[in-house]
Amino acid sequence: MRNCLSAVGEVAEFANVRKQLEVLEDRLEKMVQPRLTDALTYHKVDVVQDLRGILIRIGRFKSMELQYSEVRLKPIKQLWEDFDTKQRTNKLANERSESQRLSSGDEFQLTSSQTSFASWLPSFYDEMLLYLEQEWKWCMVAFPDDYMTLVPKLLVETMRVLGASFVSRVNLATGDAVPETKALAKGVMDLLSGDLPKGINIQTKHLEALIELHNVTGSFARNIQHLFAESELRVLIDTLKAVYSPFESFKQKYGKMERAILSSEIAVVDLRGAVTRGVGAQGIELSETVRRMEESIPQVVVLLEAAVERCIGFTGGSEADELILALDDIMLQYISMLQETLKSLRVVCGVDGTGDGVGSKKEASAEKRESSRKMDLTSNEEWSIVQGALQILTVADCLTSRSSVFEASLRATLARLNSSLSISLYGTNLDQNLSHLKSEQTAGDLSMAGRASLDVAAIRLVDVPEKAHKLLNLLEQSKDPRFHALPLASQRVAAFADTVNELVYDVLISKVRQRLGEVSRLPIWSSVEEQTAFSLPNFSSYPQSYVTSVGEYLLTLPQQLEPLAEGISTNGDSNNEDAQFFATEWMFKVAEGATALYMDQLRGIQYISDRGAQQLSVDIEYLSNVLSALSMPVPPVLATFQTCLATPRDELKDVMKSEAGSELDFHTANLVCKMRRISFD
């Protein structure tokens, strides 16, 4: 009938006959199905081949595929259900043993233990692999033209049928890794949904258990790839995708899982190692806290490195974009903790709310705080705070270098992923469009390079070209040395270093601010010569204590910086020249700040007598000598103050008009004339 209809073609009179033919074919298919089921069940090769021929002739080969899968799926489903059967049996045995123990009073009654899914899964895979190997061999004889698609489709159908149950068991198995979630019979999916009581969070052990199950599945997938090596690549990819399918929902939430784990791990990092102490012990608190901060940096980097390993191990790098976002967020969280700790250290150091004090409107209140602090603290305590503050620089140096090294390592990892994924995806003739892999025509032309390089990431990405292209673009960018894998964190690290430098500078300059706070209002500036019967010097030839205190502090500072510079040189890649530059840079910074503070005070003097001018000239000369000893140039403004104050009042006009006067700072010289009440009229 089929041959006749094909010969006649599309003729209206025979339309009825075509419908009758379909009815007859349906009847024939129903007659074949029970016989095919029996032949497949008892492995009757000849009968199976005859019935296959009938179904093919009537265009119902799909029916044979479905029948084959239905028959062969039953033993596998039985294998899968054996786990639940064993669990129920063990549970009943445990309850019975417990009941017997209570009735007999025997405390040492043995009980049957529950079998974990993680320990059972490998044996399930082993039995299923053995079953599929036997099917592959049998189908080579029974279906010589179809076995390369028939057996893989059996596995695909198996994973589809077991899918929901498989995901549920994986979820519960992750929960078994932690006592709290095991007791509640919950897993990571329940944790992500927020259904569990507050305080129960996703832990590293949860994700490690998930990765272990995935690794077991990966071993099975490699065996399947070897077993189905003769199949077309499209068939192979679909099969492997089905094998990994129970983990897909977990992978889609990988970024959320990783962010939750890292966030909870970062939150417990203890940066405050010492209790708040009273006056005289702030140095101890500062030193201990700085030590904790510095020690936390490598600990956090280890956590981040472990996250990278987990991403590669679980997703093969297919979620690298989500990993980068999570790492960037966590680094921001950690640096925020460091910043908060720095704020508290400003209080410990006594510089909370103050800047460098130059021209600051808050200077009066700052002076009051510093004055009270000066009375409370001993000299040793002051130096311990200075030394502790300098140690904060090692925290910034450590954070900068460690984060830089980690980011470089992350870029290298991304570059390796770029190479492997490019081989897996673009090595399969898909350089124009990854979605081409869906066509049978392209699948037939796929290269052996693509087949050999199939991995878990490629299997996920091959059918989602948009995600694949987005990821590959990101990985390609990572090869650029200017690329920041953690862009926000990189900026925040630099900002943290600036905040540390600001705090350290405020601490180092605070002692100078203490000593110079009242200089402009010292009574000696307006004092006049005392009339005596003896010929005595009319001014002291020695600098006053306020300036000698500042000078001694500046001269002592290099000794404080030296061990820190050596430490930074030892810990990093720096050399001795870099260490020397570090110490010199900070010495210059503090000396310049001290000079600026001093000049600001000098500008505040309203009137100065001849005696006061001569005394101030000696003070300035002393500070200038200190600056020279530190290899620092004396600022022209300070030199002008010194020259104009040292010059007798009646000679100052002539000096300013002379050739030497051209070297003076004009505005400063005029200011000194105003202080000394010299008029040019």
For residues 238 and 287, state if they share a domain. no
- Predicted confidence at residue 69, as pLDDT, reads 82
User: How far is residue 575's CA from residue 573's CA, in Å, rounded to a whole number?
Assistant: 7
Task: Look at 485 and 11; give whichever has higher pLDDT.
Answer: 485
For residues 184 and 148, state if they share a domain. yes
Assigned domain for 495 exists: no
User: How far is residue 336's CA from residue 340's CA, in Å, rounded to a whole number?
Assistant: 6
DSSP state of 44: -
Count of beta carbons in the 10 Å neighbourhood of residue 526: 14
- Predicted confidence at residue 366, as pLDDT, reads 43
Using an 8 Å Cβ cutoff, are 556 and 545 in contact? no
User: How far is residue 381's CA from residue 385's CA, in Å, rounded to a whole number?
Assistant: 6
Residue where one domain finishes, among candidates 190, 219, 252: 252
| HEC per residue, 648-677 | CHHHHHHHHHCCHHHHCCHHHHHHHHHHCC
- Predicted confidence at residue 599, as pLDDT, reads 96
Question: Which residue type sits at 596?
Answer: A
Question: Which residue type sits at 554?
Answer: L
For residues 523 and 654, state if they share a domain. yes
Rounded to 10 deg, the angle between the 379-426 and 545-571 helix axes is 30
CA-to-CA dists, residue 59 to 54, 182, 230, angstroms = 9, 53, 26
Instruction: Concatenate the DSSP letters of all residues of 433-485 into one string.
Output: -GGGGGSHHHHHT--HHHHHT--HHHHHHTT-HHHHHHHHHHHHHTTSTT--S
User: How far is residue 150's CA from residue 182's CA, in Å, rounded to a whole number?
Assistant: 40
CA-nearest of 510, 503, 560, 540 to 614 is 540
- The stretch 637-650 carries a mean pLDDT of 92
| Number of structural domains in the chain | 3
Assigned domain for 178 exists: yes
Least confident range from 13-17, 29-33, 651-655, 677-681: namely 13-17
For residues 568 and 546, state if they share a domain. yes
CA-nearest of 52, 50, 69 to 61 is 52
Q: How confident is the model at residue 92 (pLDDT cuts 50, 70, 90)?
A: low
Residue where one domain finishes, among candidates 225, 252, 279: 252
CA-nearest of 627, 572, 560 to 595 is 627
- Predicted confidence at residue 282, as pLDDT, reads 74
Least confident range from 169-178, 452-461, 523-532: namely 523-532
CA-to-CA dists, residue 583 to 149, 336, 559, 565, 588, angstroms = 73, 28, 9, 6, 9
CA-to-CA dists, residue 617 to 190, 391, 623, angstroms = 78, 37, 10
- The stretch 504-510 carries a mean pLDDT of 92
- Predicted confidence at residue 433, as pLDDT, reads 42
For residues 322 and 467, state if they share a domain. yes
For residues 234 and 327, state if they share a domain. no
Using an 8 Å Cβ cutoff, are 188 and 216 in contact? no
- Predicted confidence at residue 272, as pLDDT, reads 72
User: How far is residue 437's CA from residue 83's CA, in Å, rounded to a whole number?
Assistant: 37
Task: Collect all residues with Cβ–Cβ distance below 8 Å to 655 and sequence separation of at least 6.
Answer: 643, 644, 647, 661
User: How far is residue 255's CA from residue 45's CA, in Å, rounded to a whole number?
Assistant: 51
Alpha carbons within 13 A on the beta-carbon side of 372: 8
Question: Which residue type sits at 267?
Answer: A
> What stretches of 350-378 show up as alpha helix (H) in DSSP?
363-376
Using an 8 Å Cβ cutoff, are 408 and 308 in contact? no
Using an 8 Å Cβ cutoff, are 435 and 469 in contact? no
Assigned domain for 39 exists: no
Task: Collect all residues with Cβ–Cβ distance below 8 Å to 601 and sequence separation of at least 6.
Answer: 516, 519, 520
Task: Collect all residues with Cβ–Cβ distance below 8 Å to 640 and sequence separation of at least 6.
Answer: 664, 665, 668, 669, 672
Structural domain boundaries enclosing 402: 255-489
- The stretch 656-671 carries a mean pLDDT of 84
Chain mean pLDDT for the chain: 82
Question: Which residue type sits at 50?
Answer: D
- The stretch 579-603 carries a mean pLDDT of 91
pLDDT at 379 exceeding the cut of 70: no
Count of beta carbons in the 10 Å neighbourhood of residue 616: 27
Burial 388-408 (b: 16+ CB within 10 A, else e): bbbbbbbbbbbbbbbbeebbe
For residues 422 and 303, state if they share a domain. yes
For residues 192 and 274, state if they share a domain. no
pLDDT tens, position by position, 181-211: 999 999 999 998 887 888 788 999 999 999 9
Assigned domain for 427 exists: yes
CA-nearest of 538, 674, 518 to 612 is 538
Q: What are phi and psi of 370, to 5 degrees?
A: -65, -35
User: How far is residue 464's CA from residue 435's CA, in Å, rounded to a whole number?
Assistant: 7
The owner of tokens 């990431």 is 457
User: How far is residue 65's CA from residue 48's CA, in Å, rounded to a whole number?
Assistant: 12
Assigned domain for 387 exists: yes
User: How far is residue 2's CA from residue 21's CA, in Å, rounded to a whole number?
Assistant: 8
- Predicted confidence at residue 511, as pLDDT, reads 86
pLDDT tens, position by position, 450-470: 565 578 898 999 888 899 999
> What stretches of 269-359 show up as alpha helix (H) in DSSP?
282-315, 320-349
Task: Collect all residues with Cβ–Cβ distance below 8 Å to 9 and sequence separation of at least 6.
Answer: none
Intra-chain end-to-end CA distance of the chain, in Å: 132
pLDDT tens, position by position, 297-355: 999 999 999 999 999 999 999 999 999 999 999 999 999 999 999 998 888 888 875 44
For residues 270 and 189, state if they share a domain. no
| HEC per residue, 120-164 | HHHHHHHHHHHHHHHHHHHHHHHCCCCHHHHHHHHHHHHHHHHHH
pLDDT tens, position by position, 249-262: 999 999 999 999 99
Assigned domain for 51 exists: no
- Predicted confidence at residue 1, as pLDDT, reads 61
For residues 267 and 385, state if they share a domain. yes
Sign, CA torsion 170/174/179/185: negative
Using an 8 Å Cβ cutoff, are 647 and 655 in contact? yes
Assigned domain for 212 exists: yes
User: How far is residue 349's CA from residue 166's CA, in Å, rounded to a whole number?
Assistant: 59
- Predicted confidence at residue 525, as pLDDT, reads 93
For residues 412 and 348, state if they share a domain. yes
For residues 246 and 275, state if they share a domain. no
Spell out the long-range contacts of 573-580 with Cβ–Cβ below 8 A and sequence spacing 24 or more: 573/401
Give CA angle at 368 (365, 370), nearest 5°: 110
- The stretch 666-676 carries a mean pLDDT of 92
- Predicted confidence at residue 437, as pLDDT, reads 40
Assigned domain for 558 exists: yes
Residue where one domain finishes, among candidates 221, 252, 283: 252
Greatest extent of the chain over all pairs of C-alpha atoms, in Å:
151
